[in-house]
Amino acid sequence: MDLNPTLIAGALLVALIFFFSVKITRQYERAVVFRFGKLLGERGPGLFFIVPIADRIVKVDLRVRELDVPRQTVISRDNVSIDVDAVIYYKVTDSTRAIVEVEDYGAATALLAQTTLRDVLGQNELDTILSNRDELNTEIQAILDAMTDPWGIRVVTATLRDVSLPENMLRAIARQAEAEREKRARIILAEGEYQASRRMNDAATLYEEKPSALKLREFQTLTEIAKEKNLIVVSTGAESARTPGDICATAGLAKAVTERRG
């Protein structure tokens, strides 16, 4: 049985049309469809059909992407030149706007990230850049997210990866840290001297009110000195006015000193 060439050609044509009509997008992809140049809509994920020749599709990846902001020199608010680089993570939330509203959303986001990084860091002093990086990361992320929202892009996070300082600034920061530690040490020493003087003042007041307490303290000191056999201890003279209790206490301590030395 001879096959009709026309039927064969027709079958092949139908097969080709079917082949070029079937499109598949993955779960993390969307296809923006244009028919004769006019936006038709968004398709996917999964299997869908288009009209060959009339329809054109542009696939968009919806996964989070990383954007490495290249190292660049930034002048801080206090006129210090620093080299910084950052990493930006973003994702497409509206594939139609990402294709229609901007020519190349990846390149546009990269250039915008570089400009925003210089602007934000240039408004802050060096100490703020070094100590408040979390706040600066949040500020950069918020600015980028607001500016890329019309493009259907959401900036997930922004992170300052490295901040490099000139050699002379590193030496200056080291001297500043050393001076800060020296200041703390002097403050602690002065505070200790102050507390000691307060205690000594309280003790002097107590001894002034109770002369016998001073004499008891003297004999206690003599007891400690008497441990050294080769020392000669000379005590101060007895005071003219003592109560009987003071005399007894003094005599008792004197006896203890004598017995220890013997």
Statement to judge: residues 131 and 194 lie in one domain = no
DSSP character at residue 54: T
The last residue of one of the domains, among 25, 44, 61, is 61
Domain count, the chain: 4
Q: For residue 164, give both structure tokens.
A: 């490099």
Statement to judge: residues 69 and 95 lie in one domain = yes
- State the pLDDT at residue 57: 93
CA dist 180 and 191 (Å) reads: 17
Which of 74, 66, 165, 163 lies closest to 116, judged by CA? Answer: 74
Statement to judge: residues 157 and 134 lie in one domain = yes
Statement to judge: residues 85 and 146 lie in one domain = yes
Statement to judge: residues 195 and 236 lie in one domain = no
Statement to judge: residues 130 and 72 lie in one domain = yes
The last residue of one of the domains, among 148, 165, 182, is 165
Return the bridge partners of 163, or none.
84
CA dist 33 and 42 (Å) reads: 6
Statement to judge: residues 96 and 109 lie in one domain = yes
Residue 81 and residue 59 in contact, taking contact as beta carbons nearer than 8 Å: no
Query: 80: how many CB neighbours lie within 10 A of its CB?
Result: 16
Statement to judge: residues 96 and 117 lie in one domain = yes
Range of the domain at 57: 5-61
- State the pLDDT at residue 207: 75
- Per residue in 205-245, pLDDT (tens digit) is 877 777 777 777 777 777 777 666 655 655 555 444 444 44
Residue linked to tokens 């050393």: 178
Residue 223 and residue 257 in contact, taking contact as beta carbons nearer than 8 Å: yes
The last residue of one of the domains, among 141, 165, 189, is 165
Helix (H) or strand (E) segment spanning residue 68: strand 65-75
- What pTM, to 2 d.p., does this model score? 0.63
- Per residue in 81-129, pLDDT (tens digit) is 889 999 999 999 999 999 999 999 999 999 999 999 999 999 998 888 8
